[in-house]
């Protein structure tokens, strides 16, 4: 199995919770803000705050937001809304792991990137990192 490389950019709990997806076939780097490094990753997980700083990256991006007003329509970017209500990081972690369905919102994503997302969540489910591998894609109109 090929090793998946993931970069998380940002300090919010809603971004850092993605560290729990890490498994044997994944490398994961976490940085507080983009530092100019080469972006040789299969996936970058970040928020709108850092999208401009990685505008030269043409790989897959998860834009994580707490509301649906922050959608980006950049190519190969999927928006993932966390509308979890939580009191502390431990509660957020449990909500993340036990999320019953993952809703992604997009404008334009290559089919190979969509396949990658399905495989990523299936693998994470197999390794018991998340409860559900059910994914639904919604086209931004």
- pLDDT tens for each residue of 35-54: 999 999 999 999 999 999 99
CATH classification (class only), 4-139: alpha beta
Q: What is the 3-state secondary structure (H, E, C) of the chain?
A: CCCEEEEEECCCHHHHHHHHHCCCCEEEEEECCCCCCCCCCCEEEECHHHHHHHCCCCCEEEEEECCHHHCCCCCCEEEEECCCCCCCHHHHHHHHHCCCCEEEEECCCCHHHHHHHHHHHHHHHHCCCCCCCCEEEEECC
For residue 40, what are its two tokens? 């040789």
Q: Is the pLDDT of residue 17 over 80?
A: yes
Mean pLDDT of the chain: 92
Angstrom distance (rounded) from CA 5 to CA 29: 8
The model's confidence at residue 69, banded by pLDDT at 50, 70 and 90, is: confident
The model's confidence at residue 141, banded by pLDDT at 50, 70 and 90, is: confident
pLDDT score for 19? 93
> What's the pTM value of the predicted model, to 2 decimals?
0.93
Q: Is the pLDDT of residue 23 over 90?
A: no
The model's confidence at residue 1, banded by pLDDT at 50, 70 and 90, is: low
């Amino acid at each position: 199995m090929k090793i998946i490389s993931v970069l998380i950019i940002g300090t919010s709990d809603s971004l850092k919770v993605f560290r729990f997806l890490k498994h044997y076939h994944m490398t994961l780097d976490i940085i507080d803000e983009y530092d100019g490094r080469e972006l040789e990753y299969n996936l970058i997980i970040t928020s709108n705050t850092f999208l401009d700083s990685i505008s030269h990256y043409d790989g897959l991006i998860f834009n994580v937001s707490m509301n649906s007003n922050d959608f980006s329509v950049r190519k190969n970017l999927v928006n993932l809304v966390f509308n979890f209500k939580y009191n502390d990081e431990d509660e957020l972690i449990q909500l993340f792991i036990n999320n019953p369905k993952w809703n992604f919102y997009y404008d334009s994503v290559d089919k190979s990137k969509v396949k990658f997302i399905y495989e990523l969540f299936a693998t994470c489910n197999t390794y018991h990192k998340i409860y559900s591998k059910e994914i639904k894609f919604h086209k931004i109109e």
